[in-house]
């Protein structure tokens, strides 16, 4: 879900902890509209995707986007609460915007996303410059909230919905390479991992109408996009049926169908064999063999699974309320390897130093990594979040220096495994979807193979959006280096 930082070189420990610093801003847009909107987004892909919905809503209200916040009439910060650092970053940013307010008091500053939902109207008291607070399910109300601010009030809407999926809103693609795009297929989360704020900030899990998802994928394909990533906190629990989700559609269909994630994947894969399909995030407790078999059946469903383990120790997993054991997790990995083979990419999220974690239990995270051989991981040390089950039930008792040392060991382990996994690709030929020019050299192109590995190769006459077969000749821990064949 944090693909954005994925293809930067493997991040150092400090950088990694700072990954909430990574943000995206709205691009410059000039369609002659009256007012300018600046959107800055933090956190996961879900948030970046939401900012595209927000932009769509605001465009209809007469706003063009700008990449320069100093020239904006409305500044919106789409925020993340996942770790304390993420919130601190936003607060720092707000104090920078304070300077603008001094010279331009008429500018509206709004906070959206998870931090808005977590703190609600408290944000108005804590951050004096904030005029508007809107939670993740309140974006349709933004025009109205902005109007209230125009009329001199401060406005808040943090109502969480059981139905909202923004299914009918066409996102305005921001920072797009024109080749790859994200499609939200569900919102919220019904799991209650004890460390996690997401169920509180995003509300109940709900699945989006599959036909609107397929339409969006088809539309993207027609516009030249060649890859879509289906997004949800737990895509494997995607479930939609006309009875439950859409009475109106039920009247038009004769068969009562229940569409699960495997079926949805198939529907999107059938849009075109030239449209790659990815998805994130898979929950180890829910990923089924049916999904794995569907992945195998369609060449265009990418052979890559983000399967966050969080810890390699069963007792810690229990405290985390992940509802699977080490053995269960290993069984799922074995199923992936059996059905999809050794080349299928697998990545993880890991948390170091969760409450009461012992040295031996930490070591089990390292041995799980050795067993699975992850291609990549997002690695964090535990950050207690107010209101979560862990904050209520357990003491955050691992000292920071120990958390950091354990995290460092996890990162070093991952770096070594990433390098090994990349080295075994030397000599192989992969079908690569070209996403653009390489970050490091104008003469090279960059794309990814099915397993989600970044491959760089000499440009020749190839173009963005094309599929190219590339022979891998060299690698680093983060990138494969090759030549077209
Ligand atoms: N739905 C996804 C995760 C979304 S949050 C899943 O279940 O895997 C992304 C990652 O942030 C999590 O996987 C976890 O590794 C990390 N994370 C969440 N809460 C955290 C906390 N309190 N401290 C440290 N890392 C946390
Ligand atoms: Fe958070 Fe767990 Fe839901 Fe992921 S599955 S968003 S970690 S509660
Ligand atoms: Fe995403 Fe951060 Fe919210 S990771 S769901 S933006 S808390």
Which pLDDT does position 7 carry in this prediction?
34
- Fold classification of 429-484 is OB fold (Dihydrolipoamide Acetyltransferase, E2P) (2.40.50)
As a whole number of angstroms, the distance between CA 337 and CA 285 comes to: 17
* Nearest one of 39, 40, 85, 47 to 233, comparing CA atoms: 47
Under DSSP, is residue 66 helix (H, G, I), strand (E, B) or coil? Answer: coil
As a whole number of angstroms, the distance between CA 243 and CA 249 comes to: 9
Which pLDDT does position 246 carry in this prediction?
61
Cβ neighbour number for residue 231 with a 10 Å cutoff:
23
pLDDT per residue over 31-74, tens digit each?
887 899 999 999 999 999 999 999 999 999 999 999 999 999 99
The answer to whether 207 touches 239, Cβ cutoff 8 Å, is yes
- Fold classification of 180-423 is pyruvate-formate lyase- activating enzyme (3.80.30)
Residue nearest to atom 5 of ligand 2 (CA): 191
The answer to whether 240 touches 271, Cβ cutoff 8 Å, is no
As a whole number of angstroms, the distance between CA 132 and CA 142 comes to: 9
pLDDT per residue over 405-464, tens digit each?
999 999 999 999 999 999 999 999 999 999 999 988 999 999 999 999 999 999 999 999
As a whole number of angstroms, the distance between CA 114 and CA 135 comes to: 7
- CATH number of the domain located at residue range(s) 9-157 in this protein: 3.40.50.12160
Which pLDDT does position 33 carry in this prediction?
78
Q: What integer is the mean pLDDT of 69-84?
A: 95
The answer to whether 132 touches 154, Cβ cutoff 8 Å, is yes
Which pLDDT does position 421 carry in this prediction?
98
Phi and psi, residue 467, nearest 5°: -95, 130
- The model's pTM is 0.93
pLDDT > 80? residue 83: yes
Kindly state the percentage of the chain with pLDDT values over 90: 86
Which pLDDT does position 6 carry in this prediction?
37
What is the 8-class DSSP label of residue 301? Answer: B
pLDDT per residue over 214-230, tens digit each?
999 999 999 999 999 99
Please state the atom number of ligand 2 nearest to the C-alpha of residue 192. Answer: 8
The answer to whether 268 touches 221, Cβ cutoff 8 Å, is no
* Nearest one of 222, 242, 252, 197 to 81, comparing CA atoms: 197
Ligand 2 interacting residues, C-beta cut-off 6 A: 189, 191, 193, 196, 198-199, 233-234, 283
The answer to whether 133 touches 96, Cβ cutoff 8 Å, is no
Please state the atom number of ligand 3 nearest to the C-alpha of residue 202. Answer: 5
As a whole number of angstroms, the distance between CA 273 and CA 226 comes to: 10
Kindly state the percentage of the chain with pLDDT values over 70: 93
Q: Which ligand is nearest to the CA of 281?
A: 1
Which pLDDT does position 30 carry in this prediction?
79
What is the average pLDDT value for the chain, to the nearest integer?
92
Domains of the chain, residue spans: 9-157, 180-423, 429-484
pLDDT per residue over 156-204, tens digit each?
999 999 999 999 999 999 989 999 999 999 999 999 999 999 999 999 9
* Nearest one of 148, 168, 138 to 78, comparing CA atoms: 138
Q: Which ligand is nearest to the CA of 85?
A: 1
Which pLDDT does position 22 carry in this prediction?
61
pLDDT per residue over 231-253, tens digit each?
999 999 999 987 776 655 555 55
Residue nearest to atom 1 of ligand 2 (CA): 196
Residue nearest to atom 5 of ligand 3 (CA): 198
pLDDT > 50? residue 373: yes
Band of pLDDT at residue 98, cut at 50, 70 and 90: confident
As a whole number of angstroms, the distance between CA 446 and CA 6 comes to: 13
């Amino acid at each position: 879900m944090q693909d954005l930082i994925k293809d930067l070189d493997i991040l150092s420990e400090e950088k990694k902890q700072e990954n909430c610093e990574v943000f995206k801003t709205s691009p410059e847009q000039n369609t002659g509209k009256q007012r300018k909107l600046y959107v800055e987004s933090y956190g996961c892909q879900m948030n970046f995707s939401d900012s595209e919905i927000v932009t769509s809503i605001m465009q209809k209200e007469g706003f063009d986007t700008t990449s320069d916040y100093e020239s904006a009439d409305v500044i919106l910060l789409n925020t993340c609460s996942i770790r304390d650092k993420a919130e601190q970053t936003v607060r720092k940013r707000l104090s920078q915007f304070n300077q603008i307010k001094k010279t331009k008091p008429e500018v509206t500053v709004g906070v959206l996303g998870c931090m808005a939902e977590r703190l609600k109207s408290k944000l108005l008291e804590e951050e004096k410059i904030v005029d508007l607070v809107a939670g993740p399910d309140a974006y349709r109300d933004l025009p109205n909230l902005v109007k209230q601010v125009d009329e001199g009030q401060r406005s808040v809407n943090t109502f969480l919905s059981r139905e909202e999926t923004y299914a009918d809103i066409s996102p305005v693609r921001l920072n797009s390479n024109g080749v790859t795009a994200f499609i939200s297929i569900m919102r919220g989360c019904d799991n209650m991992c004890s460390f996690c704020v997401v169920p509180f900030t995003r509300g109940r899990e709900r699945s989006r109408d599959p036909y609107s998802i397929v339409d969006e994928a088809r539309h993207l394909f027609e516009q030249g996009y060649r890859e879509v990533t289906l997004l949800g906190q737990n895509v494997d629990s995607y479930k939609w049926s006309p009875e439950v989700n859409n009475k109106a559609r039920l009247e038009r269909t004769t068969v009562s169908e229940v569409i699960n994630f495997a079926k949805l994947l198939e529907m999107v894969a059938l849009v075109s064999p030239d449209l790659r399909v990815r998805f994130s995030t898979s929950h180890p407790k829910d990923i089924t063999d049916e999904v794995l078999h569907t992945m195998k059946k369609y060449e265009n469903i990418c052979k890559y699974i983000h399967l966050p383990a969080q810890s390699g120790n069963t007792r810690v997993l229990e405290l985390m309320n992940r509802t699977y054991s080490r053995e269960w997790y290993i069984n799922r990995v074995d199923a992936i390897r059996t059905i999809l083979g050794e080349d299928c990419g697998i990545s993880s999220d890991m948390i170091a130093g969760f409450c009461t974690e012992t040295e031996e239990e930490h070591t089990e995270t390292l041995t799980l990594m050795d067993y699975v051989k992850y291609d990549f991981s997002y690695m964090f040390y535990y950050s207690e979040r107010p209101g979560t089950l862990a904050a209520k039930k357990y003491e955050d008792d691992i000292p920071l220096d120990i958390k950091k040392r354990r995290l460092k060991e996890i990162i070093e382990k991952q770096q070594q495994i990433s390098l090994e996994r990349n080295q075994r690709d030397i000599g192989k030929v992969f079908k690569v979807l070209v996403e653009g020019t390489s970050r490091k050299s104008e003469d090279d192109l960059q794309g990814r193979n099915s397993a989600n590995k970044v491959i760089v190769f000499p440009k020749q006459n190839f173009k963005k959006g094309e599929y190219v077969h590339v022979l891998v000749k060299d690698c680093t821990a983060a990138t494969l280096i090759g030549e077209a064949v």
